[in-house]
Amino acid sequence: MANEEEEIEFKPLSVRELLTEMKDLSEIMIDLAYSAILFNDSELMEEVLELEERIDSLSYLLLMNAALAVRDKDDAEQMVSIMKVASATDKISDAAGDIATTLRRGADPRLVVNAFVKAEERLTRVKVSENSTITQKTLDALGTIDHIGVDVIAVRRGQKLIINPDEKFSLKPGDVVIARGSDIGIEKFKKLAEGKSRKVGELK
């Protein structure tokens, strides 16, 4: 859970908007947490923990907005159901955090890997460099992404997390990209994003 001493500023947001973001984040967290364990990736683990804090903050904002929206008995009954959904989502978030932190607690990731069927795809987290050739291009214009079979599922830009960016979304230097793909595709994409390769043909 988020630090209770941390002050969360109230923002007038719709309950639907808050629940939707919580659901989307919790789904991504599960994928990231398992990938962190399967591939012994500490960067993915840290991303999971950051998202866990975000969901804790959203849960608190939801509680505040729900309290202000209650005007009568019917509203109260409806909000009880909504808060149950929010609580369940928060528990999923906490569970994903627990999965990821097995790395921090020193667990042998090989023991976890043996418990799963061999994954055909994995996730990665990479920061786009200033000299990367994939910057300032829309996702649909990036033939390299289609060519190497990598799917961008989220982008962290500053304090904002863009989930499932559409094909018109453009990557910028400093973006932290979460992508899914094969081992070979992931390695090629990381080299492009980090500016270690200028074109796909160099990634053999």
pLDDT digits (tens, 9 = 90+) for 118-131: 455 778 889 999 99
pLDDT of residue 7: 62
pTM score: 0.59
User: What DSSP designation does 129 have?
Assistant: P
At 175 the pLDDT is 94
Residue type, position 188, single letter = K
Span 158-172, pLDDT tens digits: 888 898 898 889 999
Whether the pLDDT of residue 154 is over 70: the answer is yes
pLDDT, tens digit (0-9, with 9 covering 90-100), for 73-91: 887 887 888 888 888 888 8
Residues written for the chain: 204
Domains of the chain and CATH, by start: 15-110 (1.20.58.220), 120-202 (3.30.70.1450)
